[in-house]
Amino acid sequence: MKSSAPTLRFMGAAGTVTGSRFLLTCDNTRTLFDCGLFQGLKELRLRNWDPFPVEPGAIDRVVLTHAHLDHSGYLPALCRDGYRGKIVATAATHSLCGILLPDSGHLQEEEAEYANRKGYSKHAPARPLYTEKDGLDALEHFAPVAHESAVEGPGGVRVNFRYAGHILGSASLLVECEGRQRRRLLFSGDLGRPLHPILRPPSPAPEADVIVVESTYGDRRHDDEASLNLFGETIARAAERGGVIVIPSFAVDRTEVVLFHLRRLIRGGRVPPIPVYVDSPMALATLQVYQREIASGCPEIRAGITPDDLDPGDLREIRSVDESIALNFEQGPMIIISASGMATGGRVLHHLAARLGDERNAVILVGYQAEGTRGRRLLEGEPTIKMLGRYIAVRAQIVNVAGFSVHSDQPETLAWLKTAPRAPEVCYVVHGDPAAARALRDAIARELRWNAVVPRHLEQVRID
């Protein structure tokens, strides 16, 4: 069969932050880059229930940039619905997906069960998007690879995994496809920060004909020193008041970054040595993966980092639900780190419900808060927040420490793009709220003089 022109289709993270899914069709084969969940606003979450835009059984290969659920979280449904191929990802991404995907299924089963019990589901009976077993089954498809190695897939599509410095295992992908002519595409994936305290910085951008770059913080500039000061001062003051500091944290990477900074602040005398509870079995499992990789001298880890760097001193691990609930009766000062990072679910909800009403306490937001999430509403200063079926008055201090983000800001993203040996023919700006994506597109056009575009959801473009 004569092959048609190679195309790239933006099946998610186009005009929004979540749901990364990019389909490359080349030489009659289909390679899907990332297979994420839509999160945040309800209209976005509803997309998770739409039929996948291509028949899962017609996809030849899936390649992942990293383990975060907005990049990997649809895989259990894809595999259940007929995908038969491999899922190619770095070994650490495989390990982290081993924690995240079954847990995601488990949470969805719990939520469906809760909705049925409380009778608030619109569809009766409520059903999970997928189950814990679907999450476990998806893991069978994984084919782990090393960073800086190239893998050849169906249709002669070669993928090279480059360091992205975002979370453990994260990669930017250099993709070569042969079609009628050789074309090179570069997916930034989620691009980390040159100054990630634990991970080595992103590899420079290689030469590519087409670049797809993320824009989560495409309209921001992080101020690390100010962020660290704000973080330290907020904790020190709340501790002085005898308060409890709740840190909603993404289980993967953010918990490690928070622990790293806490250790330095406590050892430097800027924060008193108070108990630090990590209340999330998933965050604790992830911490073990990080500790293991650090101890084994993994090349993705920054030189000189030791497992002790993630130990703030009085670290207390909370695993069971009973222990977690018992924390509600503990007096401050203490720090509770718990998931989920945008307060959309998980144990952090009952900690927030218990602590938001007391002005001695503080809530520190350390990551991106998507539109439509409770984290975003807290950040925007709403006086009451609904959680667990009731309205809670917000009297605790709410602080946003954006600089702890593990996404590059606008100057860092531009600096990374500038490392490319030549301009691409086109640079697609994805994975950002509309304003952030437009701001990065304009900055790329203005400062690099590149052809930059924010693609539309489900748009398909030729790449020949």
Applying CB under 5 A, the residues found at the interface with Zn ion are 68, 190
Closer residue to Zn ion, CB minimum distance, 68 or 147: 68
DSSP state, residue 301: B
DSSP state, residue 154: G
Strand partners, 62: 32, 87
CB of 81 to Zn ion, least distance (A): 24
CB of 102 to Zn ion, least distance (A): 19
CA–CA separation, 387 and 343 (whole Å): 9
CB of 422 to Zn ion, least distance (A): 28
CB of 418 to Zn ion, least distance (A): 22
CB of 11 to Zn ion, least distance (A): 17
CB of 190 to Zn ion, least distance (A): 4
Identity of the residue numbered 104: S
Closer residue to Zn ion, CB minimum distance, 238 or 258: 258
Reported as type and span, the H/E element at residue 9 is strand 7-10
CB of 347 to Zn ion, least distance (A): 21
Closer residue to Zn ion, CB minimum distance, 17 or 246: 17
Q: Residue 56 contacts by C-beta under 8 Å, 6 or more apart in sequence?
A: 78, 79, 81, 82, 83
Closer residue to Zn ion, CB minimum distance, 31 or 93: 93
Strand partners, 210: 185, 426
Closer residue to Zn ion, CB minimum distance, 201 or 275: 201
CB of 166 to Zn ion, least distance (A): 6
Structure tokens at 252: 């993967």
CA–CA separation, 307 and 318 (whole Å): 19
Structure tokens at 191: 């691009």
Closer residue to Zn ion, CB minimum distance, 68 or 263: 68
Extract long-range pairs of 42-47: CB within 8 Å, 24+ residues apart: 42/372, 44/16, 44/18, 44/19, 44/372, 47/12, 47/19
Closer residue to Zn ion, CB minimum distance, 109 or 412: 412
CB of 104 to Zn ion, least distance (A): 14
CB of 66 to Zn ion, least distance (A): 6
CB atoms within 10 A of CB 84: 10
Measured CA distances, 368 to 157, 194, 220, 373 (Å): 33, 18, 12, 10
Closer residue to Zn ion, CB minimum distance, 10 or 277: 10
CB of 188 to Zn ion, least distance (A): 11
Closer residue to Zn ion, CB minimum distance, 215 or 234: 215
| Antiparallel, parallel or unpaired: β 210-214 and 426-430 | parallel
CB atoms within 10 A of CB 311: 16
Closer residue to Zn ion, CB minimum distance, 68 or 377: 68
243 in helix, strand or coil? coil
CB of 214 to Zn ion, least distance (A): 8
Structure tokens at 189: 């994936």
Cα 231 to its chain centre, rounded Å, is: 21
Could you tell me the strand order of the sheet in which 87-90 lies?
142-145, 87-90, 61-63, 29-33, 22-26, 7-10, 460-462
Closer residue to Zn ion, CB minimum distance, 137 or 190: 190
Could you tell me the strand order of the sheet in which 183-187 lies?
150-152, 158-163, 171-177, 183-187, 210-214, 426-430, 452-453
Q: Which of 44, 105, 111, 40 is nearest to 388 (CA)?
A: 111
Q: Residue 146 contacts by C-beta under 8 Å, 6 or more apart in sequence?
A: 90, 91, 161
Closer residue to Zn ion, CB minimum distance, 68 or 347: 68
